[in-house]
Amino acid sequence: MNLKITLAMLMCGIGAAAATGVAGAATPDVPTIAVKYDPAALETDGGARLLYARIATAASEVCPSYASPIFVNVAVQECRQRAIENAVAKTHNSRLAAVYLSASKHG
């Protein structure tokens, strides 16, 4: 059975506005991406790392940097970090949380 992780973007609206130079606040229609996964995959370290990579990719898609593919501004970085953090928390899985903490320490 596949479950969904919804990436809640608390700062995505602000990050998108800052990246495009538009003033404004986050709207109620905060973008999300569902990342489907098999809970059994989280029974291994490799499965947890793979899901973490998929979550990070989804966060990059939802919180894109429009100014430059090389330069990522602070608001976009914060949006992505918050998205990853929220998604990991929603799984309630200690193995995925450990992968997240390890990745957070190493940047």
Q: In the chain, what are the domain boundaries? A: 3-106
Half-sphere exposure of 21 (CA within 13 A, CB side): 2
pTM above 0.85, yes or no: no
DSSP collapsed to 3 states, 3-59: EEEECCCCCHHHHHHHHHCCCCCCCCCCCCCEEEECHHHHHCHHHHHHHHHHHHHHH
Per-residue pLDDT of the chain (107 residues; tens, 9 = 90+): 444 444 333 233 333 333 333 323 333 345 788 999 999 999 999 999 999 999 999 999 998 877 666 666 888 888 889 999 999 999 999 999 999 999 988 75
